[in-house]
């Protein structure tokens, strides 16, 4: 059991004010694997007060000293990387091989990137008779989701610490345990009391109390559009800065000169990784009408290689969905796809063979999906890929942009320049050309209802900075 009895406040493990706990369930076995405190408004008040008291000292601490703490945290994450991977596999259900690389390896790499960036970032510059200063914004409330739990935490905590902000963190109550490991690492690193505070619990009341607290200067939130709207509304009363990373319904445009097999394989991989529980997943595959039959056949072949199984097996590529609620949500979308006339090429609502226990869903591919269908418009957050056809390049761009979201996308072509031309026309925060690799130094974030603000690299650091100019006579 991964029982967590206390929260981390003002440099110490502290009893939660409510005395209430939330069970953490292993999605592969459906068994309770641990518990965390279910905090209330009082705990948030304590955490914000501690962060406020610590801000002056941390914000004015020389960069070299802040850098030394970030190095220690990075070293602690490396030392506990296998424990992090095993814990996230247990609470999320992602296969252990992927967990080591993505759920443990990625946040470690992001933390290391901020260690390097902090040592060279120019916090001051001269412009004429002005000295322009980039200063920490203050107390940062960080609210994170369950699908990439430690990565999303580090994408906020690392730049906030580097900027000189103090932090109140609320991880997802569904997959919270890696955040507690991080708090232990931070404690061992000797970070000054109050600089980092961890409160756990539900969005209501904990997240709402963080968003509305007058002692919080800015909020960095990742989650659903619905929850993002709530955070924004609550923050507006005190004019807090808000950075939002929300949902997506990203399209991969496969042009007529692309390597079709590679393009279909890459798009399916984006759609199925982490059981499809990825906000930037390329869940709409756009192909020329003339290539539809080939693309559909290839997609079915690729989907067959994603056999659901035990996430602790080194051979498993597709684990369960995170919860019974999430599985039912995904199955409901599959039903809607069938009922609205999409062609079910593979998958469906039946449990995978031999996996009646656990929150598993079959990798599902729909063909002949039209823009008006629910599965073409709403974020499913499961292993479901929709194939759509287009007439010409202009039509492909129109279809790709025909969404309330704008987080990610892909373009596949035999000519990189042609692909770049199409990528420039997409209204989205990032575009991969021919499966271009994720870059932790490049900005991550979206257009439209995918949110605003950016994470990672210097762009993520600058979300936690204020700008001051001093004029000299």
Position 185 in a domain: yes
User: % helix / strand / coil in the chain, to the nearest 5?
Assistant: 40, 20, 35
Residues 97 and 223 in one domain: yes
Residues 72 and 129 in one domain: yes
Residues 145 and 25 in one domain: yes
Q: Label the pairing between strands 139-143 and 21-26.
A: unpaired
Q: Give the residue from 8, 14, 73, 16 showing the smallest Cα distance to 43.
A: 16
Residues 224 and 339 in one domain: no
Position 26 in a domain: yes
Position 446 in a domain: no
- 296/26 Cα distance (integer angstroms): 34
Q: What is the pLDDT of residue 1?
A: 67
Q: What is the pLDDT of residue 356?
A: 87
Contact 185, 76 (CB under 8 A): yes
Q: Give the residue from 398, 199, 403, 112 showing the smallest Cα distance to 283.
A: 403
Position 452 in a domain: no
Residues 8 and 58 in one domain: yes
The residue out of 228, 246, 264 marking a domain boundary is 246
Residues 285 and 386 in one domain: yes
The string of pLDDT tens digits covering residues 316-326 is 999 999 999 99
Residues 279 and 256 in one domain: yes
How far, rounded to the nearest angstrom, does the alpha carbon of residue 363 sit from its chain's CA centroid?
21
Domain count, the chain: 2
The string of pLDDT tens digits covering residues 166-180 is 999 999 999 999 999
Residues 212 and 263 in one domain: no
Domain containing residue 322: CATH number: 3.40.309.10
- 220/222 Cα distance (integer angstroms): 7
Residues 156-185, mean pLDDT to the nearest whole number: 98
Q: Which domain holds residue 260?
A: 251-440
Position 242 in a domain: yes
The string of pLDDT tens digits covering residues 198-236 is 999 999 999 999 999 999 999 999 999 999 999 999 999
- Which tokens sit at 56? 């002056």
Q: In whole angstroms, how far apart are CA 423 and each of 36, 177, 267?
A: 44, 38, 16
Active-site residue, 356 included: no
Residues 195 and 343 in one domain: no
pLDDT band at 197 (very low <50, low <70, confident <90, very high): very high
Q: What is the pLDDT of residue 2?
A: 87
pLDDT band at 181 (very low <50, low <70, confident <90, very high): very high
The string of pLDDT tens digits covering residues 5-19 is 999 999 999 999 999
Active-site residue, 23 included: no
**Which one of the listed residues 245, 379, 455, 463 is annotated catalytic?**
245
Contact 441, 113 (CB under 8 A): yes
Contact 390, 254 (CB under 8 A): no
pLDDT band at 388 (very low <50, low <70, confident <90, very high): very high
The string of pLDDT tens digits covering residues 225-273 is 999 999 999 999 999 999 999 999 999 999 999 999 999 999 999 999 9
Contact 152, 222 (CB under 8 A): yes
Residues 34 and 104 in one domain: yes
The residue out of 202, 225, 246 marking a domain boundary is 246
Residues 146-157, mean pLDDT to the nearest whole number: 98
pLDDT, greater one: 325 or 356: 325
Contact 407, 250 (CB under 8 A): yes
- 337/334 Cα distance (integer angstroms): 5
Residues 193 and 331 in one domain: no
Q: Does 415 score more than 90 pLDDT?
A: yes
Position 447 in a domain: no
Position 194 in a domain: yes
The residue out of 221, 246, 271 marking a domain boundary is 246
Q: Please give the mean pLDDT across all residues of the chain.
A: 98
Domain containing residue 219: CATH number: 3.40.605.10
The string of pLDDT tens digits covering residues 97-149 is 999 999 999 999 999 999 999 999 999 999 999 999 999 999 999 999 999 99
Position 467 in a domain: no
Residues 414 and 293 in one domain: yes
pLDDT band at 336 (very low <50, low <70, confident <90, very high): very high
The string of pLDDT tens digits covering residues 13-64 is 999 999 999 999 999 999 999 999 999 999 999 999 999 999 999 999 999 9
**Which one of the listed residues 165, 279, 455, 462 is annotated catalytic?**
279
């Amino acid at each position: 059991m991964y029982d967590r009895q206390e929260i981390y406040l003002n440099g110490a493990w502290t009893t939660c004010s409510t005395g209430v706990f939330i069970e953490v369930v292993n999605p592969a076995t459906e068994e309770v694997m641990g518990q965390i405190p279910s905090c209330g408004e009082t705990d948030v008040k304590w955490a914000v007060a501690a962060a406020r008291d610590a801000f002056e000292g941390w914000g004015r601490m020389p960069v070299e000293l802040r850098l030394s703490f970030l190095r220690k945290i990075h070293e602690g994450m490396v030392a506990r990387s296998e424990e992090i991977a095993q814990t996230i596999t247990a609470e999320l259900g992602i296969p252990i091989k992927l967990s080591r690389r993505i759920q443990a390896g990625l946040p470690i790499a992001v933390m290391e990137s901020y260690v390097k960036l902090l040592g060279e970032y120019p916090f001051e510059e001269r412009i004429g008779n002005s000295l322009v200063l980039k200063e920490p914004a203050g107390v940062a409330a960080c609210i994170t989701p369950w699908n990439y739990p430690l990565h999303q935490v580090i994408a906020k905590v690392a730049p906030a610490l580097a900027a000189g902000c103090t932090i109140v963190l609320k991880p997802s109550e569904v997959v919270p345990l890696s955040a507690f490991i991080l708090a232990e690492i931070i404690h061992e690193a000797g970070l000054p009391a109050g600089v980092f505070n961890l409160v756990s619990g539900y969005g209501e009341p904990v997240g709402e109390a963080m968003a509305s607290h007058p002692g919080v200067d800015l909020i960095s939130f990742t989650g659903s559009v619905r929850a993002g709207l709530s955070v924004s509304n609550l923050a507006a009363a005190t004019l807090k800065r808000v950075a939002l990373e929300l949902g997506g319904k990203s399209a991969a445009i496969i042009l007529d000169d692309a390597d079709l097999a590679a393009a279909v394989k890459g798009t399916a991989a984006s759609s199925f990784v982490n059981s499809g529980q990825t906000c930037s997943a390329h869940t709409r595959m756009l192909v020329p009408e003339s290539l539809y039959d080939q693309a559909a056949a290839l997609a079915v072949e690729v989907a067959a290689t994603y056999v659901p199984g035990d996430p602790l097996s080194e051979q498993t590529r597709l684990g369960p969905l995170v919860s019974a609620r999430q599985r039912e949500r995904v199955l409901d979308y599959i039903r809607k796809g069938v009922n609205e006339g999409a062609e079910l090429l593979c998958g469906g609502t039946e449990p995978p063979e031999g996996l009646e226990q656990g929150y598993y869903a079959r990798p599902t591919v729909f063909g002949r999906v039209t823009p008006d269908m629910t599965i073409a418009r709403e974020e499913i957050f499961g292993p479901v890929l929709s194939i759509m056809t287009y007439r010409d390049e202009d039509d492909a761009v129109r279809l790709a942009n025909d969404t309330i979201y704008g987080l990610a996308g892909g373009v596949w072509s035999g000519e990189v320049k042609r692909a770049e031309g199409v990528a420039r026309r997409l209204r989205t925060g990032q575009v991969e050309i021919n499966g271009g690799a994720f870059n932790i130094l490049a900005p991550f974030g979206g257009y439209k209802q995918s949110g605003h603000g950016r994470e990672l690299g210097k762009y993520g650091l600058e979300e936690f900075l204020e700008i001051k100019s001093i004029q000299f006579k």
